[in-house]
Amino acid sequence: MSSAIETDLPEGAASKLRPRSIRSALLHLTNHRDALLLIVCATVILLAKVLIVLQAAFLVARDAVVFTDPVEGVDPLLVALGNQWDSRYFISIALSGYPAGVENDVLYAFAPLYPMLLRLAGPLIGDYYVAGIIVSNIFYVLSLLAFYLVAGIYMERTRAILSTTAFALFPTYLVYSTVAYTESTALFFAIISWYLLERDRYLLSSIALTGAILTRYVFALAVPVYFIVILWRTVTQDDSSRMRFVHLLLRISCLLTPVAAVSLLFLYFQSLTGNFFVMIDSHIFFDDHLTTPLGQFEWFFTGFFTRINHLNPVEVLVVRYAFTIPMLLMVVALAPRRRGALLLYGLVAMYFTLSMAGISAVASPRIALTSWVALLTFDERTPWWLYPMLFALFVVVGLWVMQKFLTSFFA
């Protein structure tokens, strides 16, 4: 397997720990021990999901929800889960598309694939709010299967199940995959893309990565990471210098897929607005711009968000760093595990997360999910007793995140 340069597996263990296909990976779950652990972990995840929904129902019943777009005649719980904050933008795009004849509009900040899925599912289900919730949760389940496949490359099966459970329960992912948001859809495509890259399916991997980018533009960060990984593996592993060049050319050319797809999308946007970069310009509405980690730190004190909302900037900053700094530390913990490609992926994603100013800085606990590889830290080096404590902590914090999502702007 092409990722051997980044793992420290015992001699002869690679064939046991690296599933050759999706089918063989899932068949490993049929042994009694793993099947029992899978049932327990699946039950924990399901209960966590139920608790999150019950938390939302409780807040709705207490009239504590601050609806960003209240809808008369619709169950307020559906509105809370399916039309809160960015969800209403996705539904607007699904129903009416992107606005034409304008120089700029906030809707252009949002990628089209998730709204397209809502446009397909909405009429079938009969309710766009329900459709958004269902699509998010279906892709949540698919993303867990994809994460398990990736985890099975780097660790033995029992730890892969536990690592997948940690990913499933991570507070912001637990919440934002329950409501009608893009996180689970984008993460499914991003994670399955990495699995296909590890299996040397470069074209399929690039197609899946394109799906991730067209769901959340931030996953374009993976393109240069893929380029470096493909370059390194081809140069260090191919024997023939002539074939090395041919393989490198073919593999790198696959990355033209997401580049071409995004270029065509931007050309379409240009036909509507006259502005090829309208997606970038639309973020002005959110005061989004790329700075540095120090710049983000300063923005929490000088930016408009804390000023117009009369919030304590230290509190806003500490809450965001309570999610992003541990995520960064988990990424760094990949270094002694000799997982260079994962480390590079995570560091690029976390640098971007910690360098955004504007509303994206406030939303950094959610944007940090781009660095999903951080959850692969939980492997054989993790003490067994830590897992139940970690899962319980994640669920409790997840309940708090749902409360913040429905009663204030959190992410």
Q: What is the pLDDT of residue 28?
A: 61
The residue whose two tokens read 């640098």 is: 351
From the number of C-beta atoms within 10 Å of its C-beta (0-12, 13-18, 19+), residue 279 rates as buried
Angle at 236 between CA 197 and CA 198, to 5 degrees: 15
What is the Cα–Cα distance from 4 to 347, expressed in whole angstroms? 20
Backbone angles phi, psi at 306, to 5 degrees: -70, -30
pLDDT tens string 64-93 = 999 999 999 999 999 999 999 999 999 999
Q: Which residues of 330-369 are buried (b: 16+ CB within 10 A; e: fewer)?
A: bbebbeebebbbbbbbbbbbbebbbbbbbbbbbbbbbbbb
The token pair that represents 242 in the structure block? 């002539």
Of 315 and 410, the structure prediction assigns the larger pLDDT to: 315
273-to-266, 267, 336 alpha-carbon distances in Å: 10, 10, 49
Q: What is the pLDDT of residue 78?
A: 97
Q: What is the pLDDT of residue 22?
A: 65
Looking at the predicted structure, is the pLDDT value of residue 29 above 60? Answer: no
Of 104 and 76, the structure prediction assigns the larger pLDDT to: 76
pTM over the 0.85 mark: yes
What is the Cα–Cα distance from 261 to 210, expressed in whole angstroms? 7
Residue type, 378: F
What count of Cα atoms within 13 Å lies in the side-chain half-sphere of residue 74? 17
Q: What is the pLDDT of residue 2?
A: 40
Q: What is the pLDDT of residue 4?
A: 37
Looking at the predicted structure, is the pLDDT value of residue 6 above 90? Answer: no
Length of the chain: 411
User: Per-residue confidence at 284, pLDDT binned at 50, 70, 90?
Assistant: confident
User: Per-residue confidence at 14, pLDDT binned at 50, 70, 90?
Assistant: very low
Mean pLDDT of the chain: 91
pLDDT tens string 235-262 = 887 666 767 788 889 999 999 999 999 9
**Could you tell me how many helices (H) and strands (E) the chain has, helices first?**
22, 2
Question: DSSP string of 75-115?
Answer: -HHHHHHHSSTTHHHHHHHHHH-SPSS-S--GGGGS-SHHH
Q: What is the pLDDT of residue 1?
A: 39
Q: What is the pLDDT of residue 337?
A: 87
Averaged pLDDT, 281-292: 91
3-state secondary structure of 172: helix
Q: What is the pLDDT of residue 27?
A: 60
Of 87 and 309, the structure prediction assigns the larger pLDDT to: 87
The C-alpha torsion from 401 through 403 and 407 to 411, rounded to 10°, is: 10
What is the Cα–Cα distance from 70 to 43, expressed in whole angstroms? 33
The token pair that represents 211 in the structure block? 């799906």
Which segment of 28-37, 361-370, 385-394 scores lowest on mean pLDDT? 28-37
Q: What is the pLDDT of residue 26?
A: 58
Q: What is the pLDDT of residue 64?
A: 97
Residue 218's nearest CA partner among 189, 197, 242, 198 is: 189
Looking at the predicted structure, is the pLDDT value of residue 411 above 90? Answer: no
Judge whether 359 and 287 are in contact, CB under 8 Å.
Answer: yes
What is the Cα–Cα distance from 121 to 191, expressed in whole angstroms? 23
